[in-house]
Amino acid sequence: MSEAALHELAAAAGVQVDWVDAGGRRRRVQPPSLRAVLAALGLPATHAGACRDSLRQLREGREPPPLLTVRTGAKRALGRPGERYRLLDEHGAATHGVLDDQGRLAAPAAHGYFALEQGGRMRTLAVAPVRCFGVADAIAHPHPRAWGVALQVYSARSELDAGIGDAAGAADWVRRVAAAGGDALALSPVHAALPAGAGYSPYSPADRRFLDPLHAAPAQVLGAEAAQAALRRAGLEDGLAGLHGQALIDWPVAAEAKWRWLRQLHAGVRDGQRPPALDAFARQGGAALARHAHWAAAAFGDHDPDLHVFAQWLAADSWSGLQAQARRAGLGIGLVADLAVGFDPAGSEAAAWPQAVMHGLTLGAPADAFNADGQGWGIAGYSPHGLRAGGYAPFLALLRAVMHGRGGVRIDHILGLQRLWVLPEGASAAEGAYLDYPLHELLDLLALESWRQRAIVIGEDLGVVPPRIRAELARRGVLGIDVLMFTRDRSGAFLAPAQWRRQAVATTTTHDLPTLQGWRQGRDLQWRRRLELCDDAQQRSAWRQRQRDSAALDAAATAALAADAGAADARLQALRFVASGPSPLALLPAEDALALDEQPNLPGTVGGHPNWRRRLPEPLPEATLRQSLQAFAQARQAQVDA
C-alpha cells in the first residue's frame, strides 16, 4: 500500500512518523509499527481504504471539548464575532460579555474554574496563571537558594517499619534537613501498589491518586500503645526486628507482615471506638475512595473494603502529619511528592477511567545513551483523545491528589506532557512511536492546580528531549533537572556551576544513575559486565573513559571553587560544585549524602540487580552525613552572601 495515506492518518491522530533520536539523528517509524499503534488507538490502517475510513471517522467524531483553557491576560477564540456568553465563577458570580471582532473571549484577571455558557451549551473554562507556583513563592524570597535531600522512602529505617521504609523513617530525615537549614525533602513515589510480588517498582503503581499503606506509620497516627498492642496480636514483635535489620527488602515477606499488622490495627478500631477523623476521611474520599477500596479488597484477597479505607486513612494522615511537622521545623517547601508517569493496567486507576485509558498500548522510551535497546515500562497511560473528551478529569484528579498536603511535586518524565513513546503490547521498544499530547492545555491545568495547592513543580526532563520544550517549561515555571554527569558542553567538559540552568533543580544524581561514589568506582560498569549487558572490551573502554571523566570533574570543581586540589576532599568538592550553581533549589540524594556506592535502580534489569530493595545502612555514618549536609548547605549560603 502507499505510505501517503498511512502517514496522513498518523499525522491526524498525533502519531509522529518522523522523530530525532538522542544522538540527533532523524528516524522514521516503519509502517508495521505505525499500523499497530493506530490500530490500538481504534484507527484501522491495514490498507489505503482503511486509512481513509479511519481518517474520516477521526474528523467526524470530534466533539467540542467540555473543558477549555486560557491564561490570565490572554484571549481564547470561541466562536463568531459578537456572540454573547456568560461566565460564572466558583462563587456563582456571573459576568456577561460578547466575543471580540475575532471571536475571542478575554480571560478574567483572576485564575480559577469558570462555567462558560455560550450558544445554549455549558462548558468549563479553566483560567490559568502564566506560571506555576515557584520556590520564590514558597520561601518568600525573590532570589531563592533553597536546598534539600532526595530520599527513597522504602530505604529509610525506623523502629517499627516492618522492613519497608515509612513516614516515620522519612521524619528522621526531615529533622536532619531542618537542623542543617534545608527547605525540602523530596520523596520517591508512595502511590498505591498492587500486592507485592517478586518484582517491585514504585514507578509501576496501581493508582497514583491513592497511597501505599506499606509506608504508613501507625504509631504516628494511632499512638505507640495502640501500635504495639496490634503488633502483639499479630505475633510480629520478634519478626519485625528481623525484617528491620535486613540490608535488602524482601518485598513479599515484608509486605505480608505489614498487612498483618494493618489488619490487627483495623480490628482494634472496628471493635473499639472508631476515630471520627476516619469517617470524615471516608466521606471526603467519596465514590473514588470507595471504588479503590473495593478494588483493593478484591486484589489483596481479603474482601474487606473498610480495611482499605482505614489503610488509606493511616497513610494519608502519616504523610500530611509529616508535612505539617516539616513546615513547623522550618522547611520552606517541605515534602515534594513524586508522580509516576503511568500506572499498571491491572490497577484501580485503569479501572476508574476506562474511557480515557489507552488499551493495547504501553509506555516506554526509545534508545538513548544509557539504554541502547530502549525501554518498555509495561505501564499504561491516558490517550490524548480520552483526556480531551473527558474534560481532563483524570489528569485533574491526579494533580489534586498528589499535590494535596505537599509542598511540591516532581513529575517523572514530564516530556510526556508533549509526547509519549507508546508500544503495542508485546512489541519491543524499537517498534514504538511518539504520540502527541496537548502540552499547552496540560501546562495550563498544571499551573492552575499548582497555585491552588501552593505546590512547586519539578519536571524530570531527561532522555530524548524534544526541541524547545525546556524553554516552554521554564516559561511556565516548571523546574527542569540538571544532573551533574549530564551537565556538560558539546566537548564533554563539565559546565561550571554558573552555567547551569536557572530554571532547573541541581542534583548530583538520580535513582536511575550511579551514585557519585559508585560512578567514580565504576560500580555501574561492574554490574553491567556481571549481568552481561556489555563485554570485557566494552567495560574496559568505559572504565578508561570514566577515569578521564572523574579527573575532569575534579579539575572543574577545583577551578570553580578556587580550591587547592591537593587539600580538598574530592567528594565534598563535587557536592559543593553542584550546590553552588544558580538553581533556586538543589537536591542531594541521600545515597550521595552518605557516600554510598550502590544505586537504587539499574534500568534495563529485572532480577539480576536488587532494584528498589536497598536499605540505608544502620547505623548511619553520622560524620559523613554531617559533612555532606554542611558542605551542601554552605555552598548554597555562600552564593547568597556573595
Residue range 343-401, pLDDT digits in tens: 999 999 999 999 999 999 999 999 876 677 788 999 999 999 999 999 999 999 999 99
Query: So what's the pLDDT on residue 567?
Result: 52
Beta carbons within 10 angstroms of residue 395's beta carbon? 21
Mean pLDDT of the residues in the chain: 95
Cα separation, 96 vs 88, in Å, equals 9
Please give the average per-residue pLDDT across 612-617, as a whole number.
97
Please give the average per-residue pLDDT across 104-127, as a whole number.
96
- pLDDT score of 7 more than 70: yes
Query: So what's the pLDDT on residue 568?
Result: 72
CA dihedral 272, 277, 283, 285 (to 10 degrees): -110
Report the number of secondary-structure helices (H) and strands (E) in the chain.
22, 23
- pLDDT score of 329 more than 80: yes
* Strand 361-365 versus strand 456-459 pairing type: unpaired
Please, how many CA atoms are within 13 Å of residue 489, restricted to the half-sphere of its CB? 11
If you write DSSP's letter for every residue of 85-112 in order, what string do you get? EEEE-TTS-EEEEE--TTSEEEPPSS-E
Please give the average per-residue pLDDT across 326-333, as a whole number.
98
Query: So what's the pLDDT on residue 1?
Result: 53
Residue range 137-175, pLDDT digits in tens: 999 999 999 999 999 999 999 999 999 999 999 999 999
Cα separation, 246 vs 254, in Å, equals 10
Tell me the β-bridge partners of 339.
Answer: 411
